[in-house]
């Protein structure tokens, strides 16, 4: 029994401290997995394990639906300190039988809900670790050692569990996040690439593809309660990263999943009327198509149920369903939460995410279209390649026109209902540079805006807003934002600023590591003093340790800025490398030009894991237009007019209803089984209701400690390779080795936007990052 009487599957030790960060080291003074965890099998054993047949039929409904009544009572009673524990707990019998027992038991005078829960739920096996470095363990060794700690083997499906089983090994973020998360994984994979763990990186891409095959999209995380939404669509960037090692076969192999991903995000685009919205699609009054974040459910998030009930109750002016929908959509952004989504800038109950066209999403969708164009060209489908190239061009032009705020000299989210930009400057302004979708003039303005308004002593703050109470605002900085800004600025020739950001961030992260012995989810980058506790609060849970995207991007920055790394380590000797090696700076490469060698092609021809496909999520019965089911108002006449591009797709007839249901999407293609491998069948019944949500936050202590021991001094970056080196395609990676041997595959011509970016080949230039 756990301390609260709840059953556990193993005597796993719990190492959280009141501060939520540090734990005593085990007797040997080194990082270990505690009881209840499993060793990860060798990579060559994964395929055989993944192909093991599975006969359990999984109920894809979220626990709040499956355990109707009981789940809400558990949440309201605050049985668990972390609401996510309730949705991860596993019922010990069929839900309908459990509910019958509950209804009979709760009317008894001696009934105690906590006792009932402890008797009928099993805590999931905890793969908890002690996050304490061994003596003399430097930061690079810590990161490399953490891959073993954060790895999870192919899942064994558990009856009545909310976990969506994955067929290949994967890496979790860390802490309470014990399943695969969508956008986190891209930044984690950067570190796997740097560390040469290509098999593991490839397996994570396969896991993502398997979820697209089964559910029609990649959910926020691999839990049933996340199925009603996705997260920022980084899958095409993951394929870019994999192609940097495997070559063009990565694009052709995952083309069906890339197409299904696009179909999911664009569902309804052909039917929604001007001024209306359907699921993730918004059509502006002039006919321009853009994307918003959306969740198919309008109930409290399962993993934050009591918090959402309280948030909705605090806002009497809105229907609770509106608040729930926008909270869920806010979780899909990955920025949960930030003043970017709040109508008044500070009150969570004013969240209106579904009314916003965000910068990141409206850059990632055209990147997905660019990737589809390239993949279809490789397959010889010239018509499809041209169609998606045209779509990408139109979407980039729309993004530049609608999200560019000349007054702020930055890319800003757009309120499609009001017909105007919001007022929040954030690190998202670097996203068009990261994906090479900004004009040279826009990039120059963004670089200056970042330098003046977002750059702090420890790196970039998430937004300008302070004291909002939300974790994705100042004073906090996050690894993905640093990485995308550094790479984006590199690609437009602003190498000195990119180097400065990298140096400041490495100083903050490594300085914290020296004091705490761990890497964390987020950091306070505004405070001149370095705290071992990392970032400030504002999330729905304590600070989390691990941490996948911090580990991955730090390793990438250390490899690209060896001089900066040397300066930071000299000021943090406890984090230093004993033999003081000089990190290697990798040259920029073009993912579209890396050819697949025979060994790689043979690897892709290994027996595939066959999964039973599921169609795209069924059309929800709930209203889909805006967040309340009404037609979106036309922007006020005072708003600046939006001119569609000359090649824009004609808008549907004005008489078409805004909420017209789109044509049902075709079922995604299942993995190839022609090799005769034993098939893994994960039978998935059609859910009677769309599944539910997730959260990505943190709350850490804010104690100020002694002044930082690290003086961050930007160092001169390593020089670029010869002037003839290839340009980097949008969001692509930088390889750890030279391109593979040339094969017979054709390499299509790069889209114009890839080659038109200004380059600075001076000695002060720095190679582009992933």
Task: Kindly give, in sequence order, each residue whose CB lies less than 8 Å from that of residue 220, ignoring residues fewer than 6 positions away.
Answer: 181, 182, 226, 229, 230, 231, 331, 332, 693, 694
The secondary structure element, H or E, covering residue 523 is: strand 523-524
Active site amino acids: 336, 521
What is the CA angle 69-73-74, rounded to 5? Answer: 120
Rg, the chain, Cα only: 25
Task: Kindly give, in sequence order, each residue whose CB lies less than 8 Å from that of residue 410, ignoring residues fewer than 6 positions away.
Answer: 425, 429, 445, 446, 449
Half-sphere exposure of 93 (CA within 13 A, CB side): 10
Centre a 10 Å sphere on the Cβ of residue 629 and count the other Cβ atoms it contains: 14
Q: Which two tokens stand for residue 646?
A: 């000359």
Give the span between the Cα atoms of 590 and 556, in whole angstroms: 17
Indicate the burial class of 487 (C-beta count within 10 angstroms; 0-12, 13-18, 19 or more). Answer: buried
Paired residues of 342 in beta bridges: 351
Task: Kindly give, in sequence order, each residue whose CB lies less than 8 Å from that of residue 108, ignoring residues fewer than 6 positions away.
Answer: none
Q: What is the DSSP letter of 101?
A: H
Q: Which two tokens stand for residue 659?
A: 């909420």
Provide the 3-class DSSP secondary structure of residue 675.
coil
Half-sphere exposure of 416 (CA within 13 A, CB side): 32
Centre a 10 Å sphere on the Cβ of residue 438 and count the other Cβ atoms it contains: 29
Q: Which two tokens stand for residue 405?
A: 């705020």
Give the span between the Cα atoms of 150 and 175, in whole angstroms: 9
Provide the 3-class DSSP secondary structure of residue 223.
strand
Q: Which two tokens stand for residue 370?
A: 């660019």
Task: Kindly give, in sequence order, each residue whose CB lies less than 8 Å from that of residue 740, ignoring residues fewer than 6 positions away.
Answer: 245, 246, 247, 594, 595, 596, 597, 600
Give the span between the Cα atoms of 477 and 410, in whole angstroms: 19
CA 185 to mean position of chain CA atoms: 6
Q: What is the DSSP letter of 20?
A: S
Give the span between the Cα atoms of 600 and 365, in whole angstroms: 29
Q: Which two tokens stand for residue 593?
A: 């030009």
Q: What is the DSSP letter of 303?
A: G
Q: What is the DSSP letter of 732?
A: -
Contacts within 8 Å (CB) and 24+ apart, 108-116? 113/73, 113/74, 113/77, 113/79, 114/4, 114/5, 114/77, 114/79, 115/5
Taken as a whole, the chain contains a residue count of 770
Provide the 3-class DSSP secondary structure of residue 38.
coil
For the chain, helix (H) and strand (E) counts, in that order, are 24, 17
Q: Do residues 432 and 363 touch, judged by C-beta distance below 8 A?
A: yes
Indicate the burial class of 122 (C-beta count within 10 angstroms; 0-12, 13-18, 19 or more). Answer: middle
């Amino acid at each position: 029994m756990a301390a609260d009487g709840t059953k556990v599957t193993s005597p796993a030790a719990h190492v959280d401290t009141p501060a939520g960060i540090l734990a005593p080291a085990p007797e040997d003074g080194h990082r270990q997995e505690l009881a209840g965890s499993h060793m990860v099998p060798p990579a060559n054993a994964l395929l055989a394990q993944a192909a093991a047949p599975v006969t359990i039929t999984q109920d894809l409904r979220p626990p709040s639906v499956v355990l109707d009544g009981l789940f809400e009572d558990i949440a309201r009673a605050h049985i668990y300190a972390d609401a996510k524990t309730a949705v991860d707990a596993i019922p010990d019998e069929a839900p309908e039988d459990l509910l019958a027992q509950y209804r009979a038991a709760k009317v008894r005078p001696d009934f105690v809900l906590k006792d009932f829960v402890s008797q009928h739920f099993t805590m999931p096996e905890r793969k908890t670790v002690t996050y304490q470095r061994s003596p003399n363990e430097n930061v690079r060794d810590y990161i490399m050692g953490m891959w073993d700690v954060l790895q999870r083997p192919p899942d064994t499906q558990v009856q009545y569990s909310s976990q969506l089983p994955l067929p290949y090994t994967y890496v979790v973020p860390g802490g309470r996040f014990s399943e695969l998360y969508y956008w986190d994984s891209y930044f984690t994979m950067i570190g796997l690439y740097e560390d040469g763990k290509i098999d593991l990186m490839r397996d994570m891409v396969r896991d993502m593809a398997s979820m697209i095959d089964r559910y029609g999209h990649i959910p926020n995380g691999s839990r049933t309660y996340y199925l009603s939404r996705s997260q920022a669509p980084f899958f095409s960037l993951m394929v870019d990263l994999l192609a940097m090692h495997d070559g063009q076969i990565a694009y052709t192999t995952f083309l069906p999943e890339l197409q299904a991903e696009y179909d999911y995000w664009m569902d309804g685009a052909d039917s929604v009327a001007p001024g209306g919205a359907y699921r993730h699609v918004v059509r502006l009054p002039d006919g321009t198509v853009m994307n918003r974040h959306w969740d198919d459910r309008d109930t409290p998030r399962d993993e934050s149920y009591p918090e959402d009930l309280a948030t909705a109750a605090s806002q009497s002016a809105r229907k609770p369903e509106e608040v729930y929908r926008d909270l869920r959509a806010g979780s899909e952004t990955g920025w949960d939460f930030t003043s970017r989504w709040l109508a008044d800038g500070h009150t969570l109950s004013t969240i209106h995410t579904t009314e916003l066209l965000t910068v990141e999403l409206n850059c990632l969708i055209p990147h997905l279209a660019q990737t589809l164009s390239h993949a279809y060209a490789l397959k010889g489908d010239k018509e499809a390649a041209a169609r998606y190239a045209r779509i990408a061009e139109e979407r980039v032009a729309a993004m530049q026109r609608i999200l560019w705020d000349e007054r702020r000299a930055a890319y800003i989210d757009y309120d499609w209902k009001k017909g105007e930009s919001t007022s929040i400057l954030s690190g998202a302004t670097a996203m068009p540079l990261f994906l090479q979708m900004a004009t040279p003039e826009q990039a120059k303005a963004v670089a200056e805006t970042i330098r003046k308004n977002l750059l702090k002593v420890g790196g970039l703050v998430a937004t300008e807003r302070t004291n909002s109470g939300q974790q994705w605002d100042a004073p906090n900085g996050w690894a993905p934002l640093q990485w995308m800004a550094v790479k984006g600025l590199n690609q437009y020739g602003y190498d000195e600023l990119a180097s400065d950001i990298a140096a400041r961030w490495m100083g903050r992260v490594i300085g914290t590591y020296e004091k705490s012995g761990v890497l964390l989810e987020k950091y306070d980058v505004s405070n001149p003093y370095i705290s071992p506790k990392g970032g400030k609060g504002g999330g729905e849970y304590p600070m989390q340790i691990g941490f996948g995207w911090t580990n991955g991007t730090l390793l990438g920055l250390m490899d690209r800025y060896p001089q900066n790394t040397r300066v930071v380590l000299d000021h943090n000797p406890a984090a230093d490398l004993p033999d003081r090696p000089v990190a290697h700076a990798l040259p920029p490469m073009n993912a579209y030009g890396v050819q697949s060698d025979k060994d790689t092609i043979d690897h892709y021809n290994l027996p595939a894991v066959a999964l039973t496909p599921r169609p795209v999520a069924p059309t929800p019965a709930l209203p889909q237009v805006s967040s309340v089911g009404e037609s979106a108002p036309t922007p006020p006449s005072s708003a600046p007019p939006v001119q569609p591009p000359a090649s824009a797709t004609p808008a549907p007839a004005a008489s078409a209803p805004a909420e017209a249901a789109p044509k049902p999407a075709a079922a995604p293609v299942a993995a190839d089984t022609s090799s005769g491998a034993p098939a893994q069948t994960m039978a998935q019944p059609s859910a009677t209701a769309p599944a539910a949500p997730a959260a990505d936050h943190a709350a850490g202590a804010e104690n100020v400690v002694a002044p930082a021991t690290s003086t961050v001094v930007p160092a001169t970056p390593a020089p670029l390779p010869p002037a003839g080196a290839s340009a980097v395609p949008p969001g692509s990676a930088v390889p750890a080795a030279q391109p593979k041997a040339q094969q017979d595959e054709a390499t299509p011509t790069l889209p114009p936007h890839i080659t038109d970016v200004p380059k600075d080949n001076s000695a002060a230039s720095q190679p582009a990052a992933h």
